[in-house]
């Protein structure tokens, strides 16, 4: 029996994760062990698995992979071979699943809270050749998914050239972040012609005119709702984010339902960040405390169930639910015993200590408009961003091999606790892990390894426990 790797699969590997099989066109990655990888390597259409040097165990693995569709058994006399693209490529750098790429620091809106002062183009944008070189480096580092963001990514005249390069190299564009104004039928037709249908993620900041108010332009609400309708009509999925503040907080329920009516599939909420732009705009009186946001979620969760879970939702990292599913969860209650201050079992503790301080940042690299490699967009506003390498100067693969960026995102909770006595002594440390680095540095600009005070308030205030109790009761009441 001879096997060949099915045509949609490729063999890939990265530093410290050397064996993986990637499935096109979605680019899903499955990390496997060495024996399974050996079977896949031998499945090039030439090796007879009935030979005595092939063990029974290898034959069993091959049969299983055939049932899963990863391998195809060849008929007697059938010839087949791997394409060049399917053959094993090992990237020298560490694995990153997705690049969240700010392709410009310019924008056609004037949001009061913009991290990067995009209306004034404070971070500018890189020239075309540099951008294409970064795209090439993304491909050569084995990064399989990209989100395009800004600023407003659609203001770049070479937007479609960047898209074309990524598509030509089989990189999946998962999301395009936009304020919606430039989401036109013509643009969507061009993407459709290219066979790519990314999710358009468009912020919506409240009914009653609050969206126009926050976005700083008249007609923003009409534009965003038109963009959601257009995406739905043309088969592009949509998601949204809402920045909450004291002005728009009471619109949360109406805003969720309005977005759902316009075909939006998912929503993330967060309190507005007190950025420099927000302070300059004279809006600081409307800044929500983390406790106010948490209380608002506690009030809203029963409404969400009453309204039939109209879209998938993530409320400030405190409550998550898939549309139409009963599988809601409280993200930071995964170590349930921690909330009560009880000691979790040894295996749970070890898992926590070995995990990276930010699971999201570990697999998602943010590239700023200046080309800097950062764990997340909020850091692009802060002076600390100067400590991290720029792709065009340092090299992406090098940045993913040995750099200040890589050291930050691969820091484990155990290493963090060793550097932070306050968190090490905290009863919530195994659930919290010290919180978010952007949150920490906002509290203390000189210490990126400090405690995230928002997490302290949420754990010590019992908010995660209360969210779970409220969600359990609401889910029960609504069947």
- Could you list the residues that contact ligand SF4 (CB under 6 A)? 107, 109, 111, 114, 118-119, 150-152, 179, 422-423, 426, 428-429, 432, 434-435, 451-452, 455-456, 459
Residue 228 vs 300, nearer CB to ligand SF4: 228
Contact (CB, 8 A) for 163 and 196? yes
Tokens of 127: 């020239």
b (16+ CB within 10 A) / e for 48-86: ebeeeebeeebeebbbebbeeebbbebeeeeebebeeeb
Distance of CA 115 to the CA centre of its chain: 18
Contact (CB, 8 A) for 98 and 147? yes
Q: Shortest approach of ligand SF4 to residue 105 CB, angstroms?
A: 8
Residue 319 vs 428, nearer CB to ligand SF4: 428
Q: Shortest approach of ligand SF4 to residue 430 CB, angstroms?
A: 9
Q: How far apart are CA 465 and CA 461, in angstroms?
A: 9
Residue 271 vs 399, nearer CB to ligand SF4: 271
Q: Shortest approach of ligand SF4 to residue 179 CB, angstroms?
A: 4
Q: How far apart are CA 462 and CA 327, in angstroms?
A: 22
Cα–Cα distances in Å, from 416 out to 103, 165, 358, 387, 410? 32, 39, 11, 19, 10
Q: How far apart are CA 321 and CA 312, in angstroms?
A: 6
Q: How far apart are CA 468 and CA 451, in angstroms?
A: 24
Residue 93 vs 104, nearer CB to ligand SF4: 104
Residue 119 vs 239, nearer CB to ligand SF4: 119
Residue 103 vs 111, nearer CB to ligand SF4: 111
Q: Shortest approach of ligand SF4 to residue 424 CB, angstroms?
A: 8
Q: How far apart are CA 206 and CA 243, in angstroms?
A: 8
Residue 358 vs 432, nearer CB to ligand SF4: 432
Q: Shortest approach of ligand SF4 to residue 163 CB, angstroms?
A: 19
Q: Shortest approach of ligand SF4 to residue 48 CB, angstroms?
A: 57
Distance of CA 148 to the CA centre of its chain: 12
Residue 402 vs 422, nearer CB to ligand SF4: 422
435 backbone φψ class: left, alpha, beta (φ>0; ψ -120 to 50): left
Contact (CB, 8 A) for 380 and 123? yes
Residue 155 vs 265, nearer CB to ligand SF4: 155
Q: Shortest approach of ligand SF4 to residue 426 CB, angstroms?
A: 3
Q: Shortest approach of ligand SF4 to residue 162 CB, angstroms?
A: 17
Q: Shortest approach of ligand SF4 to residue 442 CB, angstroms?
A: 13
Distance of CA 456 to the CA centre of its chain: 24
Q: Measure the CA dihedral 391/392/393/395, to 10°.
A: 50
């Amino acid at each position: 029996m001879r096997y060949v790797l099915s045509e949609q699969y490729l063999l890939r590997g990265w530093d410290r994760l050397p064996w993986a099989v990637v499935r096109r066109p979605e680019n899903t990655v499955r990390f496997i062990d060495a024996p399974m990888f050996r079977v896949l390597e031998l499945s090039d259409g030439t090796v007879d698995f009935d030979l005595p040097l092939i063990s029974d165990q290898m034959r069993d693995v091959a049969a299983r992979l055939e049932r899963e569709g990863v391998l195809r058994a060849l008929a007697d006399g059938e010839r087949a071979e791997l394409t060049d693209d399917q053959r094993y490529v090992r990237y020298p750098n560490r694995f990153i699943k997705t690049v969240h790429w700010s392709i410009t620091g310019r924008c056609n809106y004037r949001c009061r809270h913009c991290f990067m002062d995009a209306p004034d183009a404070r971070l500018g944008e890189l020239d075309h050749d540099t951008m294409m070189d970064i795209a090439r480096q993304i491909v050569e580092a084995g990064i399989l998914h990209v989100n395009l963001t800004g600023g407003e990514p659609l203001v770049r005249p070479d937007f479609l050239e960047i898209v074309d390069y990524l598509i030509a190299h089989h990189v999946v564009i998962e999301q395009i972040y936009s304020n919606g104004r430039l989401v036109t039928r013509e643009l969507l037709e061009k993407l459709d012609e290219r066979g790519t249908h990314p999710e358009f993620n468009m912020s919506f900041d409240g009914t009653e005119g609050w969206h126009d108010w926050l976005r700083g332009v008249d007609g923003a609400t009409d534009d965003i709702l038109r963009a959601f309708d257009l995406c739905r009509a043309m088969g592009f999925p949509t998601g949204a984010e809402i920045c909450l503040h004291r002005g728009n907080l009471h619109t949360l329920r109406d805003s969720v339902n309005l977005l759902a009516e316009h075909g939006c599939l998912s929503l993330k909420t967060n309190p507005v960040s007190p950025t420099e732009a927000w302070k300059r705009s004279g809006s600081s009186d409307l800044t929500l405390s983390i406790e106010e946001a948490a209380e608002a979620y506690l009030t809203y969760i029963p409404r969400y169930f009453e309204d039939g879970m109209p879209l998938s939702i993530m409320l400030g990292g405190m409550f998550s639910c898939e549309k139409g599913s009963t599988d809601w969860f409280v993200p930071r209650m995964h170590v349930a015993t921690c909330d009560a201050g009880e000691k979790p079992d040894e295996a749970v503790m070890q898992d926590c200590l070995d995990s990276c301080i930010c699971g999201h940042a570990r697999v998602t690299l943010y590239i700023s408009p200046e080309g800097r490699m950062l764990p997340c967009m909020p850091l692009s506003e802060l002076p600390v961003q100067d400590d991290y390498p720029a792709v065009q100067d340092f090299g992406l693969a090098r940045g993913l091999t040995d750099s200040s960026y890589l050291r930050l995102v691969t820091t484990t909770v155990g290493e963090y606790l060793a550097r932070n006595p306050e968190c090490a002594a905290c009863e919530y440390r195994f659930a919290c892990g010290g919180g978010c680095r952007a949150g920490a540095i906002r509290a203390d600009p000189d210490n990126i390894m400090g405690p995230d005070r928002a997490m302290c308030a949420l754990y010590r205030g019992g908010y995660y426990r209360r969210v779970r109790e409220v969600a359990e009761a609401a889910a029960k009441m609504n069947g």
